[in-house]
């Protein structure tokens, strides 16, 4: 490892002399094997005869209710002398405590922390990992007051967090350690996850005065020169796009590396938590590209959604749904730029970028929810059914659908302005005119900005593709032809997709039906979502259904399937009509000089 990358972990010290931190949280690392975190919340300067205590119902970054209060075990409010205070729970995550005569409120409770992902809270013998928005209560009418977090952790633990540290230098002989962090208000606290562990890997570099920290927790062997080199490149591209303006002067990438296949990232203003696996693949091949992709995506969220925020979420209301139809901007534009930054900065090859586009094309064309619910309405409805498809083909993906719409918007602006303006200008305008002025933007603001930058009406585009449930194959073709690309549609190579009309799991130990083409022969024969396919024409299926379906070809098929403890027989003849197809983009072989020029202006690469 090059010496350049071996840097001592340091923490920014701040003085608390000028800050009255009237809210304090004490996290005790006592019985991690039980996955319980003991938390004490202390508030002084109590007013009135009762105090309202609220726990968030959701976390920014995931627009569905989280119901974190279900993990709260015990709830013991006391005054400064340890006297119990009467209380009543008035909603699923809100309590009223009788504090008449009390100078301080000491609320003790335990939080069950057994799930490990990018937005959860988790404790075991190796780490204390906390997303404060999951487990830190607050007093609603004092949400803007400063907070202190005190961690009672072993003396050999480091702490990875974007919150400033107020911890004095510890003695080497200390076996236990109180580490203190501070937040200017509850919003900063809720937005600042932290990991405390003795096994953290850490490195740091600077760009234009901004400190970037990279932390790995879990089994991992970081290739620091490779990691920092590629991070420096894509971060620089984001800086160039946003003209060097970033909402924070210090940023932390917190990676939870898991021993199994996993992918999840959550954005914060000054940090991100990214959970990835498996450990043995993180630093190589496609998994390393995935590692870069999600890192680029989450960093751009520091601008788009954490700073550039829909008016409905400015400020956040943690007690209930914050409905917005702007998911196609918040997540869609970020999804577009996440991989595009890697391509534009030459980290991704052309093949790798086009492959990433393929995923979004399939997410659009294979999902018939595009005819049922628009991307704007699908954004609104994340609060209803979250991020899983409960009703097949009911809605679209704000990520993939929003990504394709962002690509189209970018290319249309470039076309209307002869490549002088782009979606880059739209995002810079939103940042300068809304985020920096501490106000949220509306749907009308976004549309007006796109029209102002392009000098062209987008009425038809928004009406037909954002607010209407529809497909837009022809419009997409026209947009990408501007940069010399073409949309290719071919038959699926999988016989069961093409002629049966189903998609199946290909990595699970069992073969399950994941998607059914509406009106297909197999749907009419009675196949159902999540059916487990046990056999085909008498032969057991063991992760070889694709091969068997191709082998039997157009002849009658008999499947034995299982669902909810019951087995059924499905008989049908494969269709000569093709159902699922494959979609991808490629360069036009005889592209014009103008198209090649447009491609270079868009991608910063030769055609």
Residue-wise pLDDT tens digits, 427-446: 999 999 999 999 999 999 99
Question: pTM of this prediction?
Answer: 0.94
Burial 171-189 (b: 16+ CB within 10 A, else e): eeeeeebebbbbbebbbbb
Question: How would you classify the pairing of strands 210-217 and 250-257?
Answer: parallel
Measured on CA atoms in the order 242, 243, 249, 251, is the torsion positive or negative? positive
Q: What is the residue extent of each domain of the chain? A: 23-197, 204-236+245-291, 327-485, 495-579
Q: What is the pLDDT of residue 9?
A: 31
Question: Tens digit of pLDDT for each residue in 163-214?
Answer: 998 765 554 455 555 799 999 999 999 999 999 999 999 999 999 999 999 9
CA pair distance 137, 456, nearest whole angstrom? 48
Which residues on adjacent β-strands are paired with residue 274? 255, 265
- The separation between CA 429 and the C-alpha centre of its own chain, rounded to angstroms, equals 24
pLDDT, greater one: 30 or 500: 500
- Superfamily covering domain 327-485: Neutral Protease Domain 2 (1.10.390.10)
Return the CATH class of domain 495-579. Answer: mainly beta
Question: How would you classify the pairing of strands 581-587 and 485-491?
Answer: antiparallel
Q: Contact at 8 Å (CB) between 339 and 360?
A: no
Average pLDDT over residues 10-14: 36
Question: Tens digit of pLDDT for each residue in 328-355?
Answer: 999 999 999 999 999 999 999 999 999 9
**Shortest CA distance to 189 belongs to which of 268, 267, 133?**
133
Q: What is the pLDDT of residue 2?
A: 31
Return the CATH class of domain 23-197. Answer: mainly beta
Q: What is the pLDDT of residue 16?
A: 41
Split at pLDDT 50, 70, 90, the class of 245 is confident
As a whole number, the mean pLDDT across the chain is 94
Split at pLDDT 50, 70, 90, the class of 6 is very low
For helices 443-454 and 400-416, angle between their N-to-C axes, nearest 10 degrees: 30
Question: Tens digit of pLDDT for each residue in 366-403?
Answer: 999 999 999 999 999 999 988 888 899 999 999 999 99
Average pLDDT over residues 560-577: 97
**Shortest CA distance to 34 belongs to which of 135, 125, 108, 118?**
125
Residue 5 has pLDDT above 90, yes or no: no
State in Å, rounded, how far the first CA of the chain is from the last one: 37
Q: What is the pLDDT of residue 174?
A: 52
Say if residue 315 is preceded by a cis peptide, omega within 30 of 0: yes
Beta carbons within 8 Å of 86's beta carbon, 6+ residues apart: 97, 98
Q: What is the pLDDT of residue 389?
A: 81
Phi-psi category of 419—alpha, beta or left, where left has phi over 0 and alpha has psi -120 to 50? left
Q: What is the pLDDT of residue 20?
A: 54
Q: Contact at 8 Å (CB) between 80 and 42?
A: no
């Amino acid at each position: 490892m090059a010496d350049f990358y071996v840097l001592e972990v340091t923490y920014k010290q701040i003085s608390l002399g000028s800050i009255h931190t009237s809210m304090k949280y004490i996290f005790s690392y006592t019985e991690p094997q039980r996955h319980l975190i003991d938390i004490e919340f202390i508030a002084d300067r109590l007013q009135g005869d009762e105090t309202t205590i609220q726990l968030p119902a959701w976390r920014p970054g995931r627009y569905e209710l989280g119901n974190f209060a279900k993990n709260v075990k015990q709830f013991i409010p006391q005054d400064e002398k340890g006297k119990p205070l009467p209380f009543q729970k008035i909603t699923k995550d809100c309590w009223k405590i009788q504090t008449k005569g009390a100078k301080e409120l000491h609320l003790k409770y335990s939080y069950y922390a057994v799930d490990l992902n990018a937005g959860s809270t988790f404790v075991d013998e190796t780490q204390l990992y906390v997303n404060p928005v999951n487990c830190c209560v607050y007093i609603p009418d004092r949400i803007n007051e400063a907070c202190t977090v005190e961690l009672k952790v072993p003396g050999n633990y480091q702490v990875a967090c974007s919150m400033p540290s107020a911890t004095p230098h510890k003695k080497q002989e200390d076996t236990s350690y109180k580490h203190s962090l501070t937040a200017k208000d509850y919003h900063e606290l809720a937005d600042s996850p932290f990991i405390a562990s003795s096994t953290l890997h850490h490195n740091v570099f600077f760009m234009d005065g901004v400190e970037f920290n990279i932390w790995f927790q879990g089994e991992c062997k970081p290739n620091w020169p490779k990691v920092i080199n590629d991070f420096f490149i894509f971060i620089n591209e984001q800086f160039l796009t946003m003209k060097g303006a970033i909402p924070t002067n210090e940023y932390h990438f917190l990676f939870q590396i898991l021993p199994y296949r996993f992918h999840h990232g959550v954005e914060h203003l000054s940090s991100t938590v990214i959970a990835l696996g498996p450990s043995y693949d993180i630093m190589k091949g496609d998994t390393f590209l995935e590692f870069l992709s999600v890192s680029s995506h989450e960093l751009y969220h520091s601008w788009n959604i954490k700073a550039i925020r829909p008016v409905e979420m400015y400020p956040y209301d943690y007690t209930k749904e914050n409905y917005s139809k702007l998911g196609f901007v918040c997540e869609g534009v970020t999804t577009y730029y996440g991989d595009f930054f890697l391509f534009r900065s030459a980290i991704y090859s052309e093949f790798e970028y086009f492959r990433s586009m393929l995923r979004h094309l399939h997410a659009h064309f294979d999902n018939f929810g595009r005819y049922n619910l628009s991307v704007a309405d699908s954004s609104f409805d994340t609060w209803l059914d979250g991020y899983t498809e409960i009703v097949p083909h009911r809605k679209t993906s704000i990520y993939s659908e929003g990504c394709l719409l962002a690509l189209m918007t970018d290319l249309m602006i470039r076309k209307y302005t002869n490549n002088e303006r782009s979606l880059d200008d739209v995002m810079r305008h939103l940042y300068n005119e809304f985020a920096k002025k501490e106000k949220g933007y509306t749907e009308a603001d976004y549309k007006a900005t796109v029209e102002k930058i392009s000098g062209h009406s987008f009425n038809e585009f928004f009406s037909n593709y954002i607010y209407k449930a529809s497909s837009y194959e022809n419009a997409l073709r026209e947009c990408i032809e501007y940069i010399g690309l073409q949309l290719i549609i071919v038959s699926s190579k999988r016989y069961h997709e093409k002629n049966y009309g189903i998609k199946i799991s290909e990595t699970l130990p069992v073969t399950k039906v994941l998607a059914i083409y509406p009106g297909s022969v197999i749907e009419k024969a009675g196949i159902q979502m999540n059916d487990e396919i046990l056999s085909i024409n008498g032969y057991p299926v063991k992760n070889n259904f694709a091969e068997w379906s191709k082998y039997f070809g157009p002849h009658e098929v008999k499947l034995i399937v299982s669902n909810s403890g019951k087995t059924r027989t499905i008989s049908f003849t494969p269709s000569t009509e093709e159902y699922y197809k494959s979609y991808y983009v490629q360069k036009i072989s005889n592209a014009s000089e103008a198209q090649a020029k447009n491609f270079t202006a868009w991608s910063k690469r030769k055609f």
